[in-house]
Structure 1
Amino acid sequence: MAALKERVDKLEEALMRLVYIQQKTEIELQEFKKEMQDFKREMKDFKDEMKAFKDEMLDFKEWSKKNIESLNQQWGNLANRLGTLVEDIFAPSIGQAIEKYFGVFPDVIDTKKLVRKEGKSLEIDILALCEKEKVAYVVEVKANPDRKEYIDDFLKKLKEIPSFLPYLEGYVLQGIYAGLNMKEETVKLLTRKKLYAMVFRGDILEIVNFEDVRK
């Protein structure tokens, strides 16, 4: 009997352990299911966020494309406006400015003069000729005149003009570098290079280093 009771006790203990393990397993399974459900919800939220992000990126790309097109158009319009500095501001008054400072009114005033020769080209913004005095005023107009390389290019152009325009042989070429405004150091550089610095003040053209260059 004692042996039978011991076996029954062991069997009950084994059954209790089995029940405990089963309950523990069920609890763990429930927790796992809950975690999986939470994970699925998180994944769904993540997918929704990714979709929203993709939609935002598409909207941003579309917005960027439109704005870039608009910006390019604005730059184009600005370039066109800057390109009319010669025709709209400097050319109409250049004769009076030359007469004011040099005492003679040009006989010929050409604007945007383009010359091609032997595969090369040369463009002069304004060319004002005083034929009797044999002086050619070469005006270079820049929207951003403070760039030193523009001045170097202008000096090079002045040296090339006689080969492109042989009829100017015997003329004194006088360089005038022009802009709506320019920095003091730019004016000083032009003075050292013996170039006149012309700016637009109010409604008139002024050569701001006239006396310094004449000296």
Structure 2
Amino acid sequence: MRAIQKISTKNLTSSAERDRQAFHEEMKKFEERAERDRQGFREEIKQYEERAEKDRKSLHEEMKAFKDEMRVYREESEKDRKSLHEEMKAFKDEMGKYKKEQDEEWKKWRKEWSNIAKKMGTIVEDLIAPVLRPTLKKYFNCEVSLEGQRMFRRKKGEDYEVDAIAACDDKVFMIEARSTPRDTDVREIKEKSERFFEFFPEFKGKKLIIIFGSITFPENVLRYASNMGIYAMGWREWEYMDILNFDDVKSI
């Protein structure tokens, strides 16, 4: 029995020793693998750091090149800004000079226009009446024998007023004035003239001539008046009152 126990104990010891050695072998292999892994990891870290250093140097060079470009850009921009500033200053000086000249012209114009504007409500009295006789003499060979302003008649409860009337032996002039002449005024005056002799029968037998008076006439209104056979009387180049479309109406 003791002999059997001895054999069993020896076998157990041999088995434990084998297990211990196997364990040491496994641990040794594990440590070798771990060491290889660590070396591989360190190699990867080293390569990463080398790439990172290359990237950093490349980025540094790119940033340096960018800064150099930006410096050149700023210098050129500053030159352009100074040049633009000088050009703008010259332009402002020129505009200031021009504005000053224009202001002087406008002051003169406004002064003249103000003098005319004061007369806008009395165009017939202040602008047309003073030149009416010599104008009719010049263009129509008319020696004015009758002249009146604000000629008013009422017939059968209907009012009819003409701004001015002038007459000579064989002609009678119906003069209507507007401060701002329009096409509609031309039509209105033409329609009004068709009843002239109805309210002023004493002029029957004379040729009726219509004159539309104003300060100035837009080109379209002047043409329309000519087509309607109405003479337009206004400022000629702001120098004197005159019939502006005499030849156009005469040729109709």
Distance in 1, matches of 2:239 and 2:159, equals 33
By how many angstroms is 1:109 displaced?
0.8
Aligned partner of 1:83 in structure 2 is 121
Distance in 2, matches of 1:81 and 1:206, equals 17
Higher relative contact order (CA 8 A, sep 6+): 1
Distance in 1, matches of 2:161 and 2:216, equals 22
Please say if residues 180 and 199 of structure 1, whose CA atoms lie closer than 8 Å, have aligned partners that are also in contact.
yes
Pairing partner for 2:149 from 100, 106, 111:
111
Unaligned runs of 5+ in 2: 1-115
Unaligned runs of 5+ in 1: 1-77
By how many angstroms is 1:141 displaced?
0.8
Confirm whether residue 143 of structure 1 aligns to residue 173 of structure 2: no
By how many angstroms is 1:149 displaced?
1.6
By how many angstroms is 1:200 displaced?
2.2
Aligned partner of 1:123 in structure 2 is 161
Aligned partner of 2:213 in structure 1 is 178
Q: Deviations over 1:5-34 (max 9, x none)?
A: xxxxxxxxxxxxxxxxxxxxxxxxxxxxxx
Aligned partner of 1:29 in structure 2 is none
Paired AA for residue 171 in structure 1: K
Pairing partner for 1:99 from 137, 144, 153:
137
Distance 1:80 1:180, change over 3 A: closer
Q: Deviations over 1:32-67 (max 9, x none)?
A: xxxxxxxxxxxxxxxxxxxxxxxxxxxxxxxxxxxx
Paired AA for residue 185 in structure 2: Y
Q: TM-score, normalised by structure 2?
A: 0.51
Displaced runs of 4 or more, over 4 A: 78-81
Please say if residues 94 and 205 of structure 1, whose CA atoms lie closer than 8 Å, have aligned partners that are also in contact.
no
Q: Give the aligned length.
A: 135
By how many angstroms is 1:169 displaced?
1.1
Q: TM-score, normalised by structure 1?
A: 0.59
By how many angstroms is 1:83 displaced?
2.3
Please say if residues 133 and 144 of structure 2, whose CA atoms lie closer than 8 Å, have aligned partners that are also in contact.
yes
Whose radius of gyration is greater, 1 or 2? 2
Q: Which has the higher helix share?
A: 2
Distance 1:191 1:135, change over 3 A: same
Q: Identity of counterpart residues, as a percentage? A: 27
Distance in 1, matches of 2:117 and 2:231, equals 25
